A and B are shown apart, each in its own frame.
Chain A
Amino acid sequence: SQQGEEDPQALSIQEGENATMNCSYKTSINNLQWYRQNSGRGLVHLILIRSNEREKHSGRLRVTLDTSKKSSSLLITASRAADTASYFCAPTGKTSGSRLTFGEGTQLTVNP
């Protein structure tokens, strides 16, 4: 099944700085989703970017998609302590059907 690989595994920054996380995948996709998970809680959907889109914005989030490199990046601008969480990408391939799987994720720590 399609699964993304996030990079870096862990990222620690100061409040106000930008955070960039990357996701690579192996096969063609229909779309790619990013999720956030606070410790011990459920995942929260952040943004979905379709294969024919190159960039998408939502508030302080900016997602890019490069299908030629099979990669996506999530940029969080002006980070806040509340952004501390794990971030997962979930690429959905043409043969994924209902299946949605997650990579190891990036653990982001934003220090006040």
Chain B
Amino acid sequence: DTEVTQTPKHLVMGMTNKKSLKCEQHMGHRAMYWYKQKAKKPPELMFVYSYEKLSINESVPSRFSPECPNSSLLNLHLHALQPEDSALYLCASRPTGFGEKLFFGSGTQLSVL
């Protein structure tokens, strides 16, 4: 299995809703990433987990809350989002060893109304 699976593929939520994005990989990768990508812009790094511990938080607002319950699973909990948070959210994983390539999921297209 060489895939990173993200669910749901599409999500529409109101500003008062709580929702979660899910990412799963079974390649034994010990680093997992969340990126946010607005239309026609590059992906922006949000969080990095290494060995299930948060190693990088790029000053992301607290309405985004990551969680890594085990080495295969990465969640992004969303609460009280703003319309400007609408974007494609990408998950990626990487084998151990800095500088090695990332494997990306297909993303969750999020719309906040």
Interface residues of A (CB under 8 A from B): 30-31, 33, 35, 40-45, 48, 88, 92, 96-105
**For the complex, what is the distance from the CA of A100 to the CA of B92, rounded to whole Å?**
11
Q: A96-B98, A102-B43 are in contact. Are A42 and B107 (CB under 8 A)?
A: yes
**For the complex, what is the distance from the CA of A92 to the CA of B33, rounded to whole Å?**
16
The 8 A CB mask of B1-28 against A (1 = contact, 0 = none) is: 0001010000000000000000000000
Shortest Cβ distance from residue B35 to the other chain A in the assembled complex, whole angstroms = 9
Of A30, A40, A43, which one neighbours B102 at CB under 8 angstroms?
A43
Q: A33-B101, A99-B56, A102-B42 are in contact. Are A42 and B33 (CB under 8 A)?
A: no
Q: A40-B109, A88-B42, A98-B31 are in contact. Are A48 and B101 (CB under 8 A)?
A: yes
Shortest Cβ distance from residue B63 to the other chain A in the assembled complex, whole angstroms = 22
Of A31, A40, A88, A99, which one neighbours B45 at CB under 8 angstroms?
A99
Contact in complex: A104, B41 (CB < 8 Å): yes
Q: Which residues of B contact A103 (CB under 8 A)?
A: 42
**For the complex, what is the distance from the CA of A40 to the CA of B10, rounded to whole Å?**
11
CB-based A-B contact count at 8 angstroms? 61
**For the complex, what is the distance from the CA of A104 to the CA of B109, rounded to whole Å?**
20
Interface of A is mostly: loop
Q: A40-B88, A43-B104, A44-B104 are in contact. Are A96 and B99 (CB under 8 A)?
A: yes
| B interface, size bucket | 20 to 34
Interface residues of B (CB under 8 A from A): 4, 6, 31, 33, 41-45, 48, 50, 55-56, 88, 90, 92, 94, 98-107, 109
Shortest Cβ distance from residue B56 to the other chain A in the assembled complex, whole angstroms = 6
Shortest Cβ distance from residue A76 to the other chain B in the assembled complex, whole angstroms = 18
Nearest-neighbor residue (CB-CB) of A107 within chain B: B40
Q: A43-B104, A45-B102, A88-B42 are in contact. Are A100 and B109 (CB under 8 A)?
A: no
Shortest Cβ distance from residue A94 to the other chain B in the assembled complex, whole angstroms = 9
Contact in complex: A105, B42 (CB < 8 Å): yes
A–B Cβ pairs within 8 angstroms, 19 of them: A30-B98, A33-B101, A40-B107, A42-B104, A42-B105, A43-B43, A45-B103, A48-B100, A88-B43, A92-B99, A97-B56, A97-B98, A98-B31, A98-B50, A98-B55, A101-B44, A102-B43, A103-B42, A104-B41
